[in-house]
Amino acid sequence: MTAGGLVALEEELRQLKFVERHEVIKAIEVAREHGDLSENAEYHAAREKQSFIEGRVLELESVISLADVIDPGKLSGEIVRFGATVKLVDEDTDDESTFQIVGTYEANIENGKLSITSPTARALIGKSLGDSVDVTTPGGSKSYEIMAVDYK
């Protein structure tokens, strides 16, 4: 993953451990005060949220401890690799799009972060500036031309 992705995961972990965990404990205490727990929807909702938080904390701790951080700023060239920001042009519609190829846990297509495991990223890896790339996605086949490769 990139350094930015690691920072985002560490921040999410801090938020869960030091804010949300305490809020859900208070919500459980308040719900317990309402009496019969077997029919207390607030109590069950708070316990379910607590379970989700604890599961996510364990997942994030594992991912962070095993993270291999790659700094794209130390890379260069015209070949697409992990961390590259790639500008593509759809050869059929001339629509332009720009994506950074990142790790699975930091992927967010709305923010231009494309997972390394996505069909588009897998098709781009190893290609060079100016190459034409055919991508088979669940939505059909697309052809793109690589217009720019940048390592920021």
- Chain segment 95-120, per-residue pLDDT in tens: 999 999 999 999 999 999 999 999 99
3 neighbors 68 (Cβ within 8 angstroms) = no
CA distance 29 to 46: 9
Residue 89 has what pLDDT? 94
> Per-residue pLDDT averaged across 31-43, rounded?
81
- Whether this prediction's pTM lies above 0.85 is answered by no
Residue 72 has what pLDDT? 81
CA distance 152 to 146: 17
44 neighbors 4 (Cβ within 8 angstroms) = no
Domains, the chain: 3-66 (1.10.287.180), 72-150 (3.10.50.30)
